[in-house]
Amino acid sequence: WGESARATVRRTAMRSAILAFTILAGCGGDEGPGYPECPAGKFLLEGAVDGMPVMIDETANGGFSQLGTGQFEQGRPAVLKMTWEKTLYDGQSGPAMGTVVLPKGETLCAGAGSRVAFPANGDQIQFLLKNLASGSGCSVPKTGELRACWRSTR
């Protein structure tokens, strides 16, 4: 190959790399599922279940702990209870599972694909609840998903 052919191949490879980077950057990467942002001292739960909108806006009166595994509880009686398998730090997320009680009293299980996230700023906890189900043994699948956030008053 002559110098001209090698230069053309290099330019083509460079353009392909730039195009691929531009496409990936334009898509925004893995920015997560669009968790809600909570003001200080608030708990928010929003989304839809079986086509019906869900919106809970409460004072943050629950809490969480992480000693090897994590657990979270909001409300008295509990509106949302979630657990996760390992300690997560600011800027990390991981799989979670738990239950949520809707305003009309129906209890739903949050199944596979549900997540807990600790944003990098370290001032709130966010949840994504997917593969929702109700009934005995969580055997009745529901459509939709819910997203929640919790921020303490501190």
In this predicted model, which residue has the larger pLDDT, 3 or 45?
45
Alpha helices in the chain (DSSP H): 3-27
Cis peptide before 77 (omega within 30 of 0): yes
Residue 23 has pLDDT above 60, yes or no: no
**Distance of CA 35 to CAs 29, 70, 93, 127, Å?**
16, 19, 12, 7
- Band (pLDDT 50/70/90 cuts) for residue 122 is confident
